[in-house]
């Protein structure tokens, strides 16, 4: 009799008891078990909205009337000012100015803290995208989501602690949600919007009980193998991946099934019934994942392969359609979380890799180049003082003039809201301790509630 046949026979006959194997499983250390933060947190989870390509700050959240008044005037040789083609209007009691590209986001202006003084560490798409995700533009490092998963674990063992929804790939690809030297169990699990967000999600076993018996048996042999190899972290993570995959077959189909959502909810997100490939679908699924205990949820807008993203070298007019795709769903997500009493425990982050230059090489140019020296992001939710604008740039949006915010400061602030001291969240690797913020980072106290 072949080994596999024997094992199946024993499992099928119930001679290898799932209950005993489950107890053995529970006795093992679980890298995704919930962990206590360093101090009482305001937020318990993150929804990270990443706009691929570099969103122009001077056309969205950083109003520059002087730039508009100097439109097409020469700044210096081969540099001409380019004003924004969209009007800015004050919104809410706070009066935060948001351009007409984002009228729905403008309607929740009192919930957000806009940071108009972001400055990235690299002006190249790949380096800047990796920089805002990992804190390093030059070396492979664990992603922000992986650090959060490592630091806090997750409360739902049947779903990944870190989920990424990305129809296309951002610059840098999967490195943006990779775990690098942190155990692989903390890397992001990618869902691809469409008819099949997750492959092989339907169980193939005859019954759930039979599948559980098989999986418990596989786990038993895996752990026997692990026991003689000094607790190898790669093996541990691989074992955990099987456990998570099995759990996802139980819970992910239900989490992705929007048939129970009301018509009013779908309408608020701008989502057509049965639609599964839009950013609106990503936002609604993000709320459902948050409800089910997923710790870190990233939504990526834009596809570098299709040239339909926020990279606007030649044609900034495409911003009208790009913003329309995300504006209503983002605002609906904020309102939905608040209505359900979840916003106070959820950080919603809107960011990009850098801004776009306020100057162009010749009058009439219909695009903007990379601009890492200044750009805008915003945060809403637990621990954040809504209706706040932090930092300033000069009259043209060229340079930060007040309260510069680096990716390290950005990460330190978000970790603080999660109850984590960024200087104490470390991982020992290659003989020294690493952290997300390296040796940098200051918490932005002015935007904290």
Stretch 175-186: mean pLDDT, rounded?
95
Does any domain span residue 22?
yes
Q: Does 120 lie in the same domain as 90? A: yes
pLDDT of residue 3: 57
138 close to 270: Cβ distance less than 8 angstroms: no
The answer to whether residues 168 and 221 belong to one domain is no
Structure token pair of residue 95 = 């009066």
Number of CB atoms found within 10 A of residue 93's CB: 10
Band the pLDDT of 17: cuts 50, 70, 90. very low
Helix H or strand E segment including 115: strand 112-118
Structure tokens at 336: 């939905």
Find the helix or strand (DSSP H, E) in which 332 lies.
helix 319-339
Residue 77 inside a domain? The answer is: yes
Domain that holds residue 291: 35-195+276-447
pLDDT tops 50 at residue 19: no
Confidence of residue 22 (pLDDT cuts 50, 70, 90): very low
Residue 385: pLDDT band with limits 50, 70, 90: very high
**Cβ atoms of 397 and 58 closer than 8 Å:** yes
Instruction: Give every CB contact of residue 48 below 8 A, 6+ residues apart in sequence.
Output: 144, 145, 296, 297, 298, 299, 349, 351
Q: Does 23 have pLDDT greater than 60?
A: no
Co-location of 68 and 17 in the same domain? no
In a domain, 122, yes or no: yes
Do 75 and 180 belong together in one domain? yes
Q: Which of 361, 259, 357, 297 is nearest to 62 (CA)?
A: 357
Q: Please report the pLDDT score of residue 251 as a whole number.
A: 85
Give the per-residue pLDDT at 7.
53
Residues 164 and 68 in one domain: yes
The length of the chain in residues reads 449
pLDDT in tens, 249-268: 778 889 999 999 999 999 99
Tell me if 169 is assigned to some domain: yes
Question: 23 lies in a domain?
Answer: yes
Q: How many domains does the chain have?
A: 2
Residues 314 and 417 in one domain: yes
Contacts of 46 (CB under 8 A, 6+ apart): 145, 148, 295, 296, 297, 346, 347, 349, 414, 418
Let me know: does 387 contact 96? Beta carbons within 8 Å: yes
Q: Is the domain of 191 the same as that of 202?
A: no
């Amino acid at each position: 009799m072949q080994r596999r046949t024997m094992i199946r026979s024993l499992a099928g006959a119930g001679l290898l008891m799932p209950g005993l194997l489950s107890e053995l499983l529970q006795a093992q250390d679980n890298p995704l078990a919930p962990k206590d933060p360093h101090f009482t947190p305001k937020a318990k989870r993150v929804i990270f909205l990443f706009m691929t390509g570099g969103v122009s700050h001077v056309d969205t959240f950083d109003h520059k009337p002087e730039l508009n008044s100097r439109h097409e005037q020469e700044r210096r040789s081969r540099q001409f000012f380019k004003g924004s083609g969209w009007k800015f209007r004050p919104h809410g009691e706070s009066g935060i100015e948001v351009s007409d590209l984002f009228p729905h986001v403008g309607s929740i202006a009192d919930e957000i803290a806009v940071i108009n003084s972001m400055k990235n560490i690299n002006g190249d798409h790949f380096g800047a995208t990796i920089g805002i995700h990992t804190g390093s533009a030059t070396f492979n490092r664990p992603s922000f989501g992986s650090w959060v998963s490592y630091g806090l674990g997750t409360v739902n063992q049947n779903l990944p602690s870190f989920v990424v929804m990305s129809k296309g790939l951002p610059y840098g690809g999967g490195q943006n949600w990779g775990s690098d030297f942190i155990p692989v169990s903390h890397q992001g699990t990618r869902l691809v919007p469409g008819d099949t967000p997750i492959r092989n999600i339907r169980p193939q076993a005859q019954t759930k009980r039979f599948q559980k018996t098989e999986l418990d048996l596989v786990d038993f042999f895996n752990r026997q193998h692990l026991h003689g190899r000094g607790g190898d972290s790669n093996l541990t993570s691989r074992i955990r991946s099987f456990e998570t995959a099995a759990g996802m077959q139980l819970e992910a189909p239900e989490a992705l099934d929007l048939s129970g959502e009301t018509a009013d909810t779908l309408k608020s997100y701008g989502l057509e019934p049965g639609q599964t490939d839009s950013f609106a679908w990503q936002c609604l699924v993000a709320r459902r994942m948050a409800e089910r205990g997923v710790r870190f949820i990233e939504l990526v807008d834009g596809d570098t392969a299709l040239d339909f993203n926020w990279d606007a070298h030649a044609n900034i007019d495409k911003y009208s359609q790009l913003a329309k795709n995300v504006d209503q769903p983002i605002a609906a997500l904020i309102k939905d979380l608040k209505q359900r009493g979840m916003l106070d425990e959820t950080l919603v982050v809107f960011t990009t890799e850098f801004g776009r230059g306020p100057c162009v090489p010749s009058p009439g140019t219909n695009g903007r180049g990379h601009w890492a020296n200044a750009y805008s992001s915003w945060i809403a939710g637990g621990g954040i003082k809504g209706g706040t604008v932090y930092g300033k740039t000069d009259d043209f949006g060229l340079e930060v003039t007040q309260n510069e915010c680096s990716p390290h400061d950005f990460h330190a602030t978000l970790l603080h809201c999660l109850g984590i001291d960024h200087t104490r969240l470390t991982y020992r690797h290659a003989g020294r301790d690493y952290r997300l913020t390296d040796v940098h980072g200051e918490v932005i106290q002015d935007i904290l509630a």
